[in-house]
A and B are shown apart, each in its own frame.
Chain A
Amino acid sequence: MPPLEAWEKVLIDWEALQEDMHRYLPCTTCHAGIDDADMETAHSGLIADPSADAVASCGRCHPNIAPFQSASLHNSLAGYDTVLYARSVPENHPAIEEGESYHCNSCHTTCGDCHVSQPDSVGGGLVEGHAFVRTPSMSRQCTACHGSRVKNEYTGAHEGIPADVHLRSARMICTDCHTGDEMHGVVQTTNGIQAGAAAHRYDGPQSPTCESCHADQVGVGSGNPYHEEHGTELLSCQVCHSVAYINCSTCHLERTAEDVPYFRLEDEEMGFYIGRNVLRNAERPYRYVPVRHVPTWPGLFDLYGENLLPNFDNLPTWTYATPHNIQRNTPQTASCESCHTNNAIFLTPDRVLPEEQAANAGVIVPAAPPLPEGYAPAATPQGGPAPTPTPDTGL
């Protein structure tokens, strides 16, 4: 997505705005400044993105959303702090936060970044000439931030790997699964609505879930031999229905000769690996999940201080993943042997760097699970009775 020219970013489409309820608000109501013909005077005190203070701006008319948005991960970026603080010590937090402010926080998202403009991470700029879009654009807003992993996986940008079946078969966009409540940090509970204030993206109930649409195809009673066999608590859906995704290593925080902060990844590798689920809980009961290498490393914040992540081994570098490249048929679904006895798709010890063994001790799988006792190749799920259930070996 090419960045907009500076003038394009602030060009209002008058006709589009006429279709928008917000036309009833004078510009200065949200943006402050002064309605004056002189540009300098007009821009004095200007608030470029009023929704940076969601409650004071959008919240005046949207009190059912704005207060929650402030606590959402899109706004708080709490996921970064959660993992960085876990690997650090309190006295290092200010230096880490300084680094985040230069290299990470452009992913911070206001109401306007999804409903009026492109996010800052791609330079900003009005999307529909300042008309407010109720549903954000997948290409210009969602994947503007969620690009290298989600977008490339979902659209099949990686060579040899097809687009996600939800795109290929149903042309589904992000918001078909990811609801407004989820995006705004609103959690619907049985007792009502409450603010999310999630600590990271896998905190709290799963949203969305595959079962939301595929309830009759999941687990025991589904009629699908594989699903009957594995139930709903052994494997996440992605273990069987995801394919190779990108794994990043060693992010370097750097500055250009002009002192512009940026980040650079040392390595990226396509791969699919099944590991143990270290987030296992009632919401995500799976014993095995796909795991993705995240680009952290002990020297991640070296530009801002020495040894700022002294407790690096507190969290794994291979993390719970929900790749957006779902396929009905994958190498794993070809046969029982595709997973059982197939070490190639498991995060075995030899796949983990020596210096990361300790951090990933809870994720590493010693070896692929064996075939069920008495299993015979002829008794595949399609050709006859389902194989004997695999005993839980604790792998």
Chain B
Amino acid sequence: MKRSLVCLLGLALFAALLAAGCSPVPAARAALQATETAPSGGGEARATLSPDGATVAPEAQPTLLAPTPTLIPDFNCINCHTNADLLMALAVEEATPEAPSEGSG
């Protein structure tokens, strides 16, 4: 029962964000966060982040696909790589320092 309520809450939040003109991914991210942070009865709050992409918020995906039949490829990859703040926080300086080569071609 609680899990259904969580899903409903997530979907409602997602729909609200979508209606407000937010891009699909941040909206989906918010929906995911809602499902992750809401209390769950069986300690399965992270079920939506299963390594198996097929189990990621299955009920939310049809909404994300609209209006064209777009796949959500590998949600975990997309979830991080569309998040500039997260990438900035995780960014590390490249191992190879700049070398002063001059032009080419």
Q: With CB as the reference atom, state the residue of chain A lying closest to B92.
A: A6
A256–B99 contact, CB under 8 A? yes
Question: Given A7-B84, A26-B74, A256-B99 in contact, is the A15-B91 Cβ separation under 8 Å?
Answer: no
Contact pattern, A 5-35, Cβ under 8 Å of B = 1, otherwise 0: 1110011111100100001111111010111
Nearest CB of chain A from residue B15's CB, rounded to whole Å: 18
Q: With CB as the reference atom, state the residue of chain B lying closest to A147.
A: B103
B76–A148 contact, CB under 8 A? no
Asked if A215 CB lies within 8 Å of chain B CBs, one says no
Asked if A39 CB lies within 8 Å of chain B CBs, one says yes
B74–A14 contact, CB under 8 A? no
Question: Given A26-B53, A35-B51, A260-B96 in contact, is the A11-B87 Cβ separation under 8 Å?
Answer: yes
Instruction: Choose, from A91-99, A261-269, A362-370, the stretch at the interface.
Output: A261-269
**Contact among B23, B68, B77, B104 for A147, CB-based, below 8 A:** B104
Contact pattern, A 23-55, Cβ under 8 Å of B = 1, otherwise 0: 111111101011111010110000000000000
B76–A42 contact, CB under 8 A? yes
Nearest CB of chain B from residue A77's CB, rounded to whole Å: 12
A265–B99 contact, CB under 8 A? no
B96–A26 contact, CB under 8 A? no
B53–A35 contact, CB under 8 A? yes
Nearest CB of chain A from residue B83's CB, rounded to whole Å: 8
**Contact among B76, B77, B97 for A260, CB-based, below 8 A:** B97
Q: With CB as the reference atom, state the residue of chain B lying closest to A268.
A: B102
A199 to B77, alpha carbons, bound, how many Å?
Answer: 40
A11–B73 contact, CB under 8 A? no
Residues in A neighbouring B88, C-beta threshold 8 A: 5, 7
Asked if B63 CB lies within 8 Å of chain A CBs, one says no
A33 to B51, alpha carbons, bound, how many Å?
Answer: 11
Which residues 79-101 in B have Cβ within 8 Å of A in the complex?
Answer: 79-82, 84, 87-88, 90-94, 96-101
Residues in A neighbouring B76, C-beta threshold 8 A: 35-37, 42
Nearest CB of chain B from residue A12's CB, rounded to whole Å: 4
Asked if B49 CB lies within 8 Å of chain A CBs, one says yes
Asked if B70 CB lies within 8 Å of chain A CBs, one says yes
Asked if A150 CB lies within 8 Å of chain B CBs, one says yes
Question: Given A5-B91, A6-B91 in contact, is the A263-B73 Cβ separation under 8 Å?
Answer: no
Secondary structure call for the B interface: loop
A6–B93 contact, CB under 8 A? yes
A13 to B82, alpha carbons, bound, how many Å?
Answer: 6
B23–A15 contact, CB under 8 A? yes
A146–B104 contact, CB under 8 A? yes
Residues in B neighbouring A348, C-beta threshold 8 A: none
A61 to B76, alpha carbons, bound, how many Å?
Answer: 25
Nearest CB of chain A from residue B54's CB, rounded to whole Å: 10
A222 to B96, alpha carbons, bound, how many Å?
Answer: 56
Residues in B neighbouring A5, C-beta threshold 8 A: 88, 91
Asked if A107 CB lies within 8 Å of chain B CBs, one says yes
Q: With CB as the reference atom, state the residue of chain B lying closest to A24.
A: B71
Asked if B12 CB lies within 8 Å of chain A CBs, one says no
Which of B46, B82, B94 lies at the interface centre, i.e. has the most chain A CB atoms within 10 A of its CB?
A: B82
Residues in A neighbouring B14, C-beta threshold 8 A: none
Q: With CB as the reference atom, state the residue of chain A lying closest to B94.
A: A6
Which of A12, A28, A148 lies at the interface centre, i.e. has the most chain B CB atoms within 10 A of its CB?
A: A12
Q: List 17 A-B contacts (CB under 8 A).
A: A7-B88, A14-B78, A15-B24, A18-B70, A23-B71, A24-B71, A27-B77, A29-B73, A34-B51, A35-B52, A35-B76, A39-B80, A41-B51, A145-B104, A147-B103, A148-B105, A149-B103
Residue ranges of A at the interface with B (Cβ–Cβ < 8 Å): 5-7, 10-15, 18, 23-29, 31, 33-37, 39, 41-42, 103, 107, 121, 123, 130, 143, 145-151, 256, 258, 260-265
Residue ranges of B at the interface with A (Cβ–Cβ < 8 Å): 23-25, 46, 49, 51-53, 68, 70-71, 73-82, 84, 87-88, 90-94, 96-105
Q: Which 8 A-B pairs have the closest CB atoms?
A: A148-B103, A146-B105, A262-B99, A7-B87, A26-B73, A35-B74, A27-B74, A27-B77
Known contacts A7-B91, A13-B82, A35-B77; 13 additional CB pairs below 8 A are A6-B92, A7-B87, A7-B90, A10-B87, A11-B84, A18-B70, A24-B73, A31-B77, A42-B77, A143-B105, A147-B104, A150-B105, A256-B97
